[in-house]
């Protein structure tokens, strides 16, 4: 349990850094936005929860100091980097294919259990295939805690960040699944999907081209 005095200036700064990082446009935010406008609120919320869970898992690993352990296994990081880059390129391909469709896309709803599971895994994969995420978490934990802090304290920082992530990503899902946002998407889907293709493609190529040691 975290003591009230534990809410220090550094902890508040760490929470602020995490909030800014999650709110800033990135592949995960774009994936939630695209799902919200194309498949609706429920699907987007599932993707958002998947993103948060994937991020939280890296946070837990960072709290236990596994970032240094992973750094010692550079081959594992290379595999994760390649998988993450290829996953982003696959998302770029899907967006590009959608952009080439002349007709307006039919708005879909996620209703089956398998679809919900797939949406959740899609969101989780956004973070689980990005080995840089654990080093971001290590930076947040290092900012919040003094040297020599216990793992339980680091877990407290992760637990405090999780509701922030839920609030940010679910807000994206709620805002971009409104009727107005979905109408805008139907009118501009080719431009929107084309932009997503470029952004996902750039992110994927950048990940693949980054140094193996990260």
pLDDT in tens, 62-84: 777 765 555 555 566 677 678 77
Is 3 inside any structural domain?
no
pLDDT at 156 over 90: no
Full residue range of the structural domain in which residue 155 is found = 8-209
CA 82 to CA 41: how far, in whole Å?
Answer: 31
Q: Are 35 and 44 in contact (CB under 8 A)?
A: yes
Of 145, 140, 146, nearest to 16 by C-alpha is 140
pLDDT in tens, 141-153: 777 776 666 667 7
Q: Specify if 214 maps to a domain.
A: no
- pLDDT of res. 112: 43
The reply to whether 19 falls in a domain is yes
On whether residue 58 sits in a domain, the answer given is yes
CA distance 30 to 154: 29
Lowest mean pLDDT among 14-23, 70-79, 125-134, 183-192: 70-79
Cα-based torsion angle of the residue sequence 186, 115, 55, 48 in order, rounded to the nearest 10 degrees: 40
Number of structural domains in the chain: 1
The pLDDT of residue 162: 93
Query: Which of the listed ranges 90-94, 113-117, 167-171, 181-185 does the model predict with the highest average pLDDT?
Result: 167-171
Domain membership of residue 105 (yes or no) is: yes
45, part of any domain: yes
Give the range among 52-56, 102-106, 158-162, 186-190 with minimum mean pLDDT.
102-106
Lowest mean pLDDT among 29-38, 69-78, 202-211: 69-78
Is it the case that residue 2 has pLDDT exceeding 50? no
Residue 2 belongs to a domain: no
Residue 199 lies in a domain: yes
Tell me the whole-structure pTM to 2 decimals: 0.75
DSSP state of 177: T
């Amino acid at each position: 349990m975290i003591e009230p005095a534990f809410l220090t200036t550094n902890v508040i700064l760490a929470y602020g850094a995490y909030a800014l990082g999650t709110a800033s446009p990135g592949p995960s935010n774009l994936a939630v936005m695209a799902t919200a406008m194309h498949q609706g609120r429920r699907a987007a919320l599932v993707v958002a929860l998947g993103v948060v869970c994937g991020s939280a898992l890296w946070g837990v690993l960072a709290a236990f100091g596994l970032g240094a352990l992973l750094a010692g296994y550079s081959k594992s990081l290379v595999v994760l980097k390649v998988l993450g880059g290829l996953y982003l390129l696959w998302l770029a391909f899907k967006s590009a294919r959608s952009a080439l469709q002349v007709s307006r896309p039919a708005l879909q709803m996620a209703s089956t259990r398998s679809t919900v599971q797939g949406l959740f895994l899609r969101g989780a994969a956004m973070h689980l295939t990005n080995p840089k995420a654990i080093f971001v978490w290590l930076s947040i934990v290092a900012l919040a805690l003094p040297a020599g802090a216990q793992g339980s304290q680091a877990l407290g920082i992760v637990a405090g960040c999780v509701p922030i992530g839920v609030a940010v990503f679910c807000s994206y899902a709620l805002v971009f699944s409104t009727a107005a946002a979905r109408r805008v998407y139907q009118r501009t889907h080719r431009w929107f999907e084309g932009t997503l293709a470029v952004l996902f493609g750039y992110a994927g190529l950048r990940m693949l081209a980054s140094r193996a040691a990260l």
